Amino acid sequence: MSSGSNSARRVASLLRPSIIDSGVCRSCQETIGRRSYATATPAATESTTTPPVVTPAYTINAGVVLSRPPQITRELEPFEKAFFFYQKRLNERLALPFTKYFYFKRGTPADEDWKKKIQERRTAARDIGKYNAYDSDAWNDELLLGAEQSEPANQVEALVQDAESTANATSQDTSKKEDIPRPYPRITEADQKNDQKSLNRLLSRTLYLLVQSKEGNWKFPTSPVETGETLRLAAERTLSESAGVNMNTWMVGYHPVGWHKFNAPRAKKGETAKPDASGSKVFFLKSRIMAGQADLSINTQNLKDFKWLAKEELPQYLNTQYYSNIKNMLADR
């Protein structure tokens, strides 16, 4: 017997159990024995009817989460302020190479003059407050939680005043007072005015761009993906069509960081549903603004307004379901 017939018989045995197989009951053996199998598929008949046009259940949209990263470090907690100040004092006390008596002999006029200046200056070794690292009470260098000396603003002011007094005391021109420039404040004018269109507010937080549609709804910049367009290209086009081209932006990646689904609007009672009604799925890509500002004067999406908001401010403007789907892709800071 040829090998080809053996293979065919083996395949047939796999497709059709043997009637003498003890694992098959008598009823099933009779059914299998009577069953006929087709040896060829019938010729396909040519259909003369055109397939119906099916409206897709959802349209695909590209959304852009455009953010401005934090510009300064966050505000310190009260414990952090006190602890860092304690570490500063401890470091200065342990790292000072020489005592004052290396320079001034005890009891000399120079030593007394030094002590007088230190008493007036109150900032020995560029320290803050009345603490003296050489005093017998130098071990007591801890601060109570919330002490004024641990506040950065108080430290900056003490250091600036100390620098001004030193500069004026050593200056040869006594007619002009030396002014040391202060650091810029953490609270800006935009914070004081609550200008939510400014990028100069909440400098220690991440801000996100929201736009308002003509119906009054707030959302991230969004538009449908066109034919032959990738999600990345659609996101770039969406950003230029909604917020203008006066921004230097950078798309973080090619893949979405989240998505949101809008269902098709339901027909009201007594009305028939529209046949072309469909929902939408929005896939969000991350982007960063490096310079510039949003401009809606030439937008092609009929947008009315925009805001730069922190994460905790978004629920005031976004739909509850919309925010619940996008909140986990936003930075907490």
Q: Quick one: 246 and 110 in the same domain?
A: no
Please give the mean pLDDT across all residues of the chain. Answer: 77
Q: For residue 91, what pLDDT is reported?
A: 77
Residues 120-173 pLDDT 10s: 665 544 455 566 666 677 676 666 777 777 788 887 887 788 788 778 777 777
Q: Quick one: 197 and 102 in the same domain?
A: no
pLDDT at 12 over 70: no
Q: For residue 304, what pLDDT is reported?
A: 92
Residue 51 within a domain: no
Q: Which of 120, 143, 170 is the last residue of a domain?
A: 170
Which CATH number fits the domain that encloses residue 283? 3.90.79.10
> In the structure encoding, which two tokens stand for residue 240, read together?
């230029």
C-beta of residue 73 within 8 angstroms of C-beta of residue 203:
no
Q: Quick one: 193 and 116 in the same domain?
A: no
Residue 49 within a domain: no
- One-letter amino acid at 267 equals A
Residue 272 within a domain: no
Q: Quick one: 84 and 69 in the same domain?
A: no
pLDDT at 35 over 60: no
Q: What is the DSSP letter of 301?
A: S
- pLDDT-based confidence at residue 306 (cuts at 50, 70, 90): very high
| Torsion (CA) 316, 318, 319, 320 in degrees, nearest 10 | -60
Give the residue numbers spanning the domain of 298: 59-73+188-265+278-329
Q: Quick one: 67 and 209 in the same domain?
A: yes
Q: Find where tokens 């019938």 sit.
A: 42
Number of folded domains in the chain?
A: 2
Of the spans 1-15, 25-39, 107-121, 296-310, which averages the highest pLDDT?
A: 296-310
Residue 31 within a domain: no
Q: Quick one: 202 and 318 in the same domain?
A: yes
Residue 209 within a domain: yes
pLDDT at 208 over 60: yes
Q: Which of 139, 170, 201 is the last residue of a domain?
A: 170
Q: For residue 288, what pLDDT is reported?
A: 95
Q: Are strands 218-219 and 207-212 parallel, antiparallel or unpaired?
A: antiparallel
Residue 3 within a domain: no
Of 18-22, 167-171, 232-236, give the lowest mean pLDDT range: 18-22
Q: Quick one: 125 and 243 in the same domain?
A: no
Q: Quick one: 214 and 157 in the same domain?
A: no
Mean pLDDT of 241-252: 90
Q: Quick one: 69 and 209 in the same domain?
A: yes
Q: Quick one: 256 and 311 in the same domain?
A: yes
Q: For residue 237, what pLDDT is reported?
A: 93
How far apart, in whole angstroms, are the C-alpha atoms of residue 171 and residue 116? 20
Q: For residue 94, what pLDDT is reported?
A: 74
DSSP helix/strand/coil, 83: helix
Q: Quick one: 161 and 236 in the same domain?
A: no
Count Cβ neighbours within 10 Å for each residue of 166-192 and write b for 16 or more, e otherwise.
Answer: eeeeeeeeeeeeeeeeeeeeeebebee
Q: Quick one: 66 and 214 in the same domain?
A: yes
Q: For residue 45, what pLDDT is reported?
A: 53
Count Cβ neighbours within 10 Å for each residue of 247-273 and write b for 16 or more, e otherwise.
Answer: bebebeeeebbbebebebeeeeeeeee
Residue 17 within a domain: no
Residue 35 within a domain: no
What's the predicted TM-score (pTM) here?
A: 0.67
- One-letter amino acid at 230 equals T
